Amino acid sequence: MRVAIGADHAGFRLKEAIREQAAGVELVDFGTHSEDSCDYPDVAGAVATAVAQGEVDRGILVCGTGVGMSMAANKVAGVRAAACSDTYSARLTRAHNDANVLCLGARVVGPGLALDIVQLFLDTAFDGGERHERRIEKIHALEPRAARAGG
């Protein structure tokens, strides 16, 4: 599995911890590469675009809370980014929502929990089925409307 990973300055250390512990996946690092201030939408856009274009299977984004990254990533058509701070949400966002980008908050979860969340996100398959697939299609149907409405 190829996984894009990226962080802003607040998430840099947690991103590095995830990179060091990731086993069995090929990580493609979209930066940032230091704790120097940077703008999270730039990193989120790059990772989300790689996911949407099929260059990678999934994405992981880290910022202070995970919320800013998820907001930015979800602007890219075809991306279903979820900010998760617990293992239950990480598992269900994959199983029920087929989320393809995980967003973590370095100021919300510690490295141990973050690694557990990442592992569940990567290991959990989409359950599929008519009920879940119908809802995913409804999410995709919202994308053109959002773009026409200016955001």
> Which positions are catalytic?
63, 96
Q: Which two tokens stand for residue 116?
A: 């557990």
Give the β-pairing of 26-29 and 2-7. Answer: parallel
**Cα 40–Cα 143–Cα 136 angle in degrees, nearest 5:** 100
Helix (H) or strand (E) holding 17: helix 12-21
Whole-number CA gyration radius for the chain? 14
CB 100 within 8 A of CB 139: no
How far apart are the C-alpha atoms of 101 and 70, rounded to whole Å? 8
